[in-house]
Structure 1
């Protein structure tokens, strides 16, 4: 940790950075929408939904929620995770094998890959385990990849399906699944939830909750500062994190005991917050 950051934490009585950008389940903020999303993930798993969709705006906190959900699962669930689906991916079955730690030959064709996966899934079922395949950034999958995944959900042991899919992605994933040529895929989606941006009240609650988790006082940011942060970020958690971190740095440099609206305004006026132009949906994935 740099000396400057150490002073920054000491100044506000913080144990760690409250607004780091890396997804951290410890810092999840349970807004009503996040609770709804988590409940839908749990519903999809417990009802053995063939396909569950979780979508949300860029930087809305999908990955953090996903990591929290995965960490809560019992040992009877075998998890395969494809954390960053590549645009236009056409080797999804090979990626599935890698995610499930299955060995396949370099020259294996689609039929070979399907057979290896099927054998694994049926073996897991015999052991009393469920298999959950999670794909993050799933909006990058093309039609063929989605069709290959749908075929995997057709594998069953008697009347019981042996694989569940959880696809996490940006809003265009929902639009893609609704295409006429993917109707069979859409019919297998038994649970879905769209995670929206935070509203002004939730943004203030999010800021306070992260400060408290980091060991600080939730009132370090004034309500007026939180309102301006919401206005500048559109309520996108990742952008809120960026702006809050900069505002804390400015307040520390000024020797201020808290972040007020004019502190946030100075950050914006200085042009150091590059997320200002991303609040309408441009920019980073997540």
Structure 2
């Protein structure tokens, strides 16, 4: 059996359903993901100066962006920046590069800003809108966020010449709501925060991926789903990781349906590092941390 098959053949699947590589064929839209996508669409169509999307690592933010980009036509010029850092001027250089505007790295800030402004006006005159997406925006400094806000001050009559979509982890929302960032917050016209899926949705998510892979959707018991939800807080990427290990364990034990005991074994063996990261991350906004993690934290304090 090759590495691609692993447990798939044992369960009668055509492929592994819980790999971490994004695959459009496995796309599952929960209610909140549909709402978040609607907010993104609204932000674009309404020419919102700033649209804010936040959520835990692995909550599906990148999937939302990928689907949004597929829907935009040639009238929208999109620039995408990931993990941008740097001081004044460096961020503007990131912006120009993302929009494919040639720039001399040694140029002064004033020169770069003038080039940026001229480009915005040219695009507007040609009937095109400019959308700048900043992924992992929580890594920006306060000064960086303020510099981005100032870019939205460029307008023509009633129209925004550039729209920003800020995407990041939960702390980004706190950064924007900081009293010192009041002017930035006032420019956020659309926002959505992705929470983890509830237990019912986790069950539907698991069944959906199993069926796409050629299964029945009943390869996990209800008790196993409950345990998975508890341990992952309903974060899609973590659900995938824990389901993958659970099916691997079930294959090894020659069990045809993953039960709560198997999920418990995976957790006890400490191979599910994603769940441990929830325990160790005090900034996590997960409201469903398992009793295991709460108990561990109490023991560590004692």
TM norm structure 1: 0.91
Q: Which residue of 2 aligns with 1:115?
A: 114
Q: Which residue of 1 aligns with 2:294?
A: none
Structure 2: stretches of 5+ with no match in the other structure: 285-302
Greater mean alpha carbon deviation, residues 14-23 or residues 42-51: 14-23
Does the CA-based 8 Å contact 1:58-1:284 persist in structure 2? Answer: no
Does the CA-based 8 Å contact 2:93-2:105 persist in structure 1? Answer: no
Question: How far did residue 12 of structure 1 move?
Answer: 2.5
How far apart, in 2, do the equivalents of 1:181 and 1:271 lie? 42
How far apart, in 2, do the equivalents of 1:282 and 1:41 lie? 28
Q: Which residue of 2 aligns with 1:168?
A: 167
Q: Provide the aligned length of Structure 1 versus Structure 2.
A: 283
Does the CA-based 8 Å contact 2:7-2:251 persist in structure 1? Answer: yes
Q: Which residue of 2 aligns with 1:199?
A: 198
1:223 aligns with 2:231: no
Q: Which residue of 2 aligns with 1:76?
A: 75
1:1-286 residue pairs with structure 2 within 5 A?
3-86=2-85, 90=88, 91-280=90-279, 282=281
Question: How far did residue 41 of structure 1 move?
Answer: 0.6
Give the 3 Å change call, closer, same or farther, for CA 155–16 of structure 1 in structure 2.
farther
Give the 3 Å change call, closer, same or farther, for CA 283–248 of structure 1 in structure 2.
farther
Q: Which residue of 1 aligns with 2:297?
A: none
Question: How far did residue 214 of structure 1 move?
Answer: 2.9
- RMSD over aligned CA atoms reads 2.2
Give the 3 Å change call, closer, same or farther, for CA 180–108 of structure 1 in structure 2.
same
Q: Which residue of 1 aligns with 2:289?
A: none
How far apart, in 2, do the equivalents of 1:240 and 1:169 lie? 20
How far apart, in 1, do the equivalents of 2:177 and 2:23 lie? 32
Question: How far did residue 137 of structure 1 move?
Answer: 0.7
Give the 3 Å change call, closer, same or farther, for CA 47–70 of structure 1 in structure 2.
same
Does the CA-based 8 Å contact 2:77-2:131 persist in structure 1? Answer: yes
CA deviation vs aligned residue, 1:106-127 (integer Å, no higher than 9, x gap):
2112212212222222222222
TM norm structure 2: 0.87
How far apart, in 1, do the equivalents of 2:239 and 2:280 lie? 14
How far apart, in 2, do the equivalents of 1:252 and 1:89 lie? 52
Question: How far did residue 279 of structure 1 move?
Answer: 2.8
Structure 1: stretches of 5+ with no match in the other structure: none
CA deviation vs aligned residue, 1:225-274 (integer Å, no higher than 9, x gap):
11111111121222111111111111222232222222212212222112
How far apart, in 1, do the equivalents of 2:218 and 2:195 lie? 25
How far apart, in 2, do the equivalents of 1:176 and 1:139 lie? 8
How far apart, in 2, do the equivalents of 1:264 and 1:204 lie? 14
- Provide the secondary structure at the position in 2 that maps to 1:55: strand
Does the CA-based 8 Å contact 2:54-2:168 persist in structure 1? Answer: yes
Give the 3 Å change call, closer, same or farther, for CA 150–80 of structure 1 in structure 2.
same
How far apart, in 2, do the equivalents of 1:112 and 1:12 lie? 62
Give the 3 Å change call, closer, same or farther, for CA 279–121 of structure 1 in structure 2.
same
Give the 3 Å change call, closer, same or farther, for CA 107–4 of structure 1 in structure 2.
closer
Does the CA-based 8 Å contact 2:5-2:16 persist in structure 1? Answer: no
Does the CA-based 8 Å contact 1:211-1:217 persist in structure 2? Answer: yes
Question: How far did residue 14 of structure 1 move?
Answer: 3.0
